[in-house]
Amino acid sequence: MERFISAGSMKRRVLIVDDEMINRELLRAILSQSYEIDFAANGVETMKALTNPDVDYSLILLDLLMPVMDGFEVIKRCQSDEHLRRIPIIVMTSEKSAEVRSIKMGAADFITKSFDLPEVILARCERIIEMSEDKSIIRSTKHDKVSGLYTREFFFAYLKQLLPRIEVPTDALVLNIDRFHLLNELYGREEGDRVLKKVGELITTILCPSDGIACRSESDTFFVFRKHTDDYEAMIEELQKELGEEAPSRNLRLRAGIYNCDTEISDPENWFSRAKVACDRIRGQFGSITELYSHELYERAMFRERLTADIRDAVANRDLAVYYQPKYRIQGERPVLSSAEALIRWIHPELGFISPGEFIPLFEKNGLIRLVDYYVWREAAAQIKRWREEYGVTVPVSVNVSRVDIFYPELENKLLDILKEFSLSPDELMLEITESAYSDNADRLIEIVNSLRQKGFKIEMDDFGSGYSSLNMLASIPIDVLKLDMQFIRNMLLDEKSLKLVELVIDISDYLNIPVIAEGVEEELQFSTLKELGCEIVQGYYFSPPLPADSFDELIEKEIGEKQ
């Protein structure tokens, strides 16, 4: 077997098979500028070259009439081999009957011998190689290897081809396996893949046996396009039941978002974006398994996208305002201003006032809460310094440390840098950590909090009682202040049990030598009851709503006046 290798090492490789030396040289002259060339003089040499594992061919130019083994036998052997049949074959002959026979056997094209049109030969080779590579890409990406469904790319390409021929109402479904990442972590990737394969089979059987197509879009998310039905609830319940029987100990839960496709939007990817909005809406809501996309959902999704896009400008332009709600010590002749809590407000230049209840949960999910928290920390620190310089008093301020912040490796350095910048001591900038943060990674959180306390920071547990509190938690976690969730305060005058719970928490905190702050105090009777129970500090509208800094100044001036 002869071989000619051209200079370009990244060129595709072509095998020229012909028993005539002059034919091989003519083809070499035509093709060697574009391809690396190998030669074979008969079918045996051809099969030897094709089965070399170190060589990958993009095209075979094959003479049909050769000694030892002819071209027809080569085509037959290539077509019987899964790997070799992917290499396109252009036969070289001058006999019409041979052309037809070879094409029927699996050849991709033919070239008439005499090779008197080099440009045509080169163009045909280029076209066949390109078509083969396109087909190979489609073949390799058509199906997801794990689920057996289409891949996302093929799904949308195929769907766009189907749409002009569809004349019935259709729906886009996004199906998700809740908390799938935990399945992989607890039981391993192999078990996760087994579940994905089962979901793929169930989708094919239940959701689109003949009325639709489906793909796996992401690790735990599936897209289904199918003929419209009004009974998706029953379908998803059946799918859930079948999956539960397959993996009864895994506690797998499915949820689906549905978008009724219409002519208002012609882009299929937009249909599934909207279905995903509906699917995400019921994340964590264990009473619902399906959600139909509505205009209201669209408006809310666009609103959240707008907030996410605008938050950096809001920080840069100081559209975020820090308000301060006073805290009062109440165990004495009169309530005494002791500290404040920093609360964020967003005054958007176009949208107006935006409630913290709108943007804080959103930014906690997407990680942007760190940007907001850092802004609040610096603003609060600057305000503590200004009050000290203007009034000669220190008003400590509590700032929130979100669950995103608490595990940030640079948290401690960030806080210490702020203290240094504004010449504050650690106990002047108090840190509020929500009770639910302790359930995320309690051991690691305790290490972090202990380190912060060693630096002098005071730690307040916020919203105690709103999550999964336990007496054991109070005994094991390092905190300096316990803040009762305002729901306790609202209920304590409505029923005896709630009142006893508040009394119990205050007694335990006394035993642990941890002061209790009651937030959400709005009425005189709430105030007097808490004082009688021994609660040390309260905050709420009974004393004052959250105030901008200049209004809070008046409280400081009043406090100074009462002390004189």
Residues 75-91 have pLDDT tens digits of 999 999 878 988 999 99
Please classify residue 226 by burial: count the beta carbons closer than 10 Å to its beta carbon, then call 0-12 exposed, 13-18 middle and 19+ buried: buried
pLDDT at 3 over 80: no
Average pLDDT over residues 335-359: 93
* CATH ID of 150-293, from 3.30.1330.100, 3.30.70.270, 3.30.1380.10, 3.30.1380.20: 3.30.70.270
CA 34 to chain centroid, in Å, comes to 44
Average pLDDT over residues 272-289: 80
pLDDT at 375 over 50: yes
* DSSP helix/strand/coil, 233: helix
Per-residue pLDDT, 439: 62
Domain 309-563 belongs to what topology?
A: TIM Barrel (3.20.20)
pTM of the predicted structure, to 2 decimals: 0.60
Strand runs labelled E in 97-253: 109-112, 150-151, 170-177, 212-218, 221-227
Please classify residue 148 by burial: count the beta carbons closer than 10 Å to its beta carbon, then call 0-12 exposed, 13-18 middle and 19+ buried: middle
pLDDT at 367 over 50: yes
201/247: higher pLDDT: 201
SS (H, E, C) 285-329: CCCCCEEECCHHHHHHHHHHHHHHHHHHHHHHCCCEEEEEEEEEE
pLDDT at 467 over 60: no
pLDDT at 15 over 60: yes
Per-residue pLDDT, 46: 93
Domain ranges of the chain: 3-141, 150-293, 309-563
Per-residue pLDDT, 361: 87
Q: Name the phi and psi angles at 376, rounded to 5.
A: -65, -45
pLDDT at 9 over 80: no
Q: How confident is the model at residue 366 (pLDDT cuts 50, 70, 90)?
A: confident
CATH of domain 3-141: 3.40.50.2300
Contact 343, 324 (CB under 8 A): yes
Per-residue pLDDT, 250: 67
Q: What value does the mean pLDDT of the chain take? A: 86
Least confident window among 53-62, 297-306, 319-328, 403-412: 297-306
Average pLDDT over residues 192-213: 87
pLDDT at 6 over 60: no
- Per-residue CA distances from 390 to 385, 393, 395, 469 (Å): 9, 8, 12, 41
* pLDDT per residue as tens digits for the range 503-542: 988 888 888 888 999 999 999 999 999 999 999 999 999 9
Average pLDDT over residues 171-185: 84
478/271: higher pLDDT: 271
- Per-residue CA distances from 180 to 26, 248, 253 (Å): 60, 15, 9
DSSP 33: T
Q: How confident is the model at residue 1 (pLDDT cuts 50, 70, 90)?
A: very low
Q: Distance between CA 68 and CA 54 in Å, rounded?
A: 25
Average pLDDT over residues 365-387: 94
503's tokens: 């009394």
Per-residue pLDDT, 413: 94
13's tokens: 């490789």
Per-residue pLDDT, 465: 64
Least confident window among 141-145, 347-351, 429-433, 539-543: 141-145
Q: How confident is the model at residue 446 (pLDDT cuts 50, 70, 90)?
A: confident
Element (H, E) at 538: strand 537-539
Q: Distance between CA 556 and CA 46 in Å, rounded?
A: 95
* pLDDT per residue as tens digits for the range 228-277: 888 888 898 898 888 888 766 567 888 999 998 875 667 889 899 889 98
Q: What percent of the chain stands above pLDDT 70?
A: 91
Per-residue pLDDT, 373: 95
Quick check: do 3-141 and 309-563 share a fold?
no
Q: Which of 170, 171, 173, 196 is nearest to 183 (CA)?
A: 196
pLDDT at 34 over 80: yes
Per-residue pLDDT, 5: 32
Average pLDDT over residues 425-446: 82
Least confident window among 50-54, 75-79, 352-356: 50-54
Per-residue pLDDT, 464: 75
pLDDT at 338 over 90: yes
Least confident window among 110-119, 344-353, 540-549: 110-119
Q: Distance between CA 262 and CA 274 in Å, rounded?
A: 12
Average pLDDT over residues 142-158: 87
pLDDT at 11 over 80: no
Residues comprising the chain, all counted: 564
